[in-house]
Amino acid sequence: MLKDTNQMTMDLSPYQGLYEAIIPQDHILRKLKDNIDFSFVNPMLRKQYCESFGRPAKEPEMMFKLLFLKKLYDLSDEQLISRAQTDMAHKYFLGLSPEDKMIDPSLLTKFRKTRITEDILEDMLKETIQQAIQKGLVKSGTIIVDATHTEAAVRAKRVTQVLRDLTRTLRKEIYKHEYDLSEKFPEKPSIEADLSEEIAYTYELLEQIQSGVEASDNAEIKALYNRIRELLDSDRIRQIRSKDDEDARFGHKTPTSTFFGYKTHIAMSDDRIITGLEVTDGSKPDGEQLPNLLEKSKRNGVAVKEIVGDMAYVSDSNLAFCEEHHTELYAKTNSAVAAAANAQLEEGFSYSKDAHMMQCPAGHLAMRVEKRDAANGNTYYNYYFSAKKCKTCPMRDKCRVGKSKGRTYSVTCANDAHKARLEFESSEEFSDKLRIRHRIEEKNGEMKTAHGLRRAVLWPGVKFCVSDFRQSQEWRWKAGRILAWIP
């Protein structure tokens, strides 16, 4: 439980003068302590602690500052505590006396996993942005939006291999804890077996051991059994590419290069203050996240009047959403992007603006595109996919392209509908606004280089969920976002 604030006393240390003698006035941690009020952390996290019993807990504000230092200096828990014990700047920032002892590193893990939740991170983001607004660091109503990719901490595999790894893990657990059940294992398919054979084998395996698993007291075996059953019954097994990270997906930065992981969608004020964030898998189109970024920026206290972005954000739905919220969208229209964005694409299909090509539900890019003009004035884009990839694709039975003989997907661009928009984009005002878009590219580079956004901080073997990823990434960029407005 937390200490009662009315009963807290201030300890006066005879060594307090060391801070003034040792820590320079321009030290980054002194600037942080003097410019940012972290007192909001204690009341915000009070609901995470028991009010009536338990031994007194360490103050959430100090624990939060420790995590902040961990990401700021890229330290392990043990390195952080060891350094904070002897570094006077660290102790000054934490609000401790020079002679105070540091906590055990294991408390950081408990605090990170049990006290910090996704909704609390959103509240912390809102609080820090509002402090920046109060200090006059957010002066305009313009935000810049963009997305950058983050590599997953695991290696992607074929769907067949993922399912094979899951069943192998289940068999190993049964061998260790419920050996008698191993006698019911069916014969494994050959190493050359395709996905349909592997799925049939897995169903047979689950059927044979079902009664034994239900009667078992081993929670790990039951959890793994239920996980495999859910993946098969929901058909999600055809989409995942790693048993350790089920949510990562392939995305494209160019027509010839791919990445396996996630996209971080960022809204940033033109003063370079991050105002909103959304994390998705790597296959999601950038433009779909514009409404979320606008709403989050407004919720965090920014009076958004203008949005600056690239061509991925121009679509009829986004333009209508911005008009409804009295916000002007400054993003250049690309006819192919607009056609894909405005067409009612089948589920799973999306347009990759980085690769300038249509992407199928399995994450494969079309090989080429043909542009054709029809007699009614419309333009048709026919995207041709690889017959070889479609033939071996695990999702071919549920995909329109996979079923078709020509392996093509077509979208239509109605030219007349965009004439007014194109006239607006040719104005001098529009060109002037687009000149600030480079600032968010600089911010993306800063986040990747200095704050770990280049790669997720999870690794094979850990239990993964989207909220874990979001928390780890938000801790990464939170330090960078706060540092961005320290004078």
Residue 206's pLDDT is 95
CB 334 within 8 A of CB 352: no
pLDDT digits (tens, 9 = 90+) for 244-260: 888 899 998 877 788 99
Q: What 3 state SS string does 101-125 have?
A: CCCCHHHHHHHHHHCCCHHHHHHHH
Q: CA nearest 295: which of 413, 88, 145, 486? A: 145
Task: Indicate the pLDDT class of residue 54, thresholds 50, 70 and 90.
Answer: low
Residue 330's pLDDT is 95
Higher pLDDT, 462 or 433: 433
Question: Residue range 114-129: average pLDDT?
Answer: 85
143-152, 304-313, 347-356: range with lowest mean pLDDT: 347-356
CB 41 within 8 A of CB 64: yes
Question: Residue range 435-449: average pLDDT?
Answer: 91
CA torsion 220-225-227-230 (nearest 10°) is: -160
Rounded Cα distance between 436 and 427, Å, is: 16
Rounded Cα distance between 19 and 24, Å, is: 9
Residue 112's pLDDT is 84
Residue with tokens 């051991």, as numbered in its chain: 209
In one letter, which amino acid is 257?
A: S
Indicate if the pLDDT at residue 372 is higher than 80: no
Residue 80's pLDDT is 93
Residue 342's pLDDT is 59
SS3 333: coil
Burial of 169: CB neighbours in 10 Å, binned 0-12, 13-18, 19+: middle
79-88, 228-237, 338-347: range with lowest mean pLDDT: 338-347
What is the residue-averaged pLDDT of the chain? Answer: 83
Residue with tokens 């009047």, as numbered in its chain: 305
Higher pLDDT, 414 or 435: 435
Residue 268's pLDDT is 94
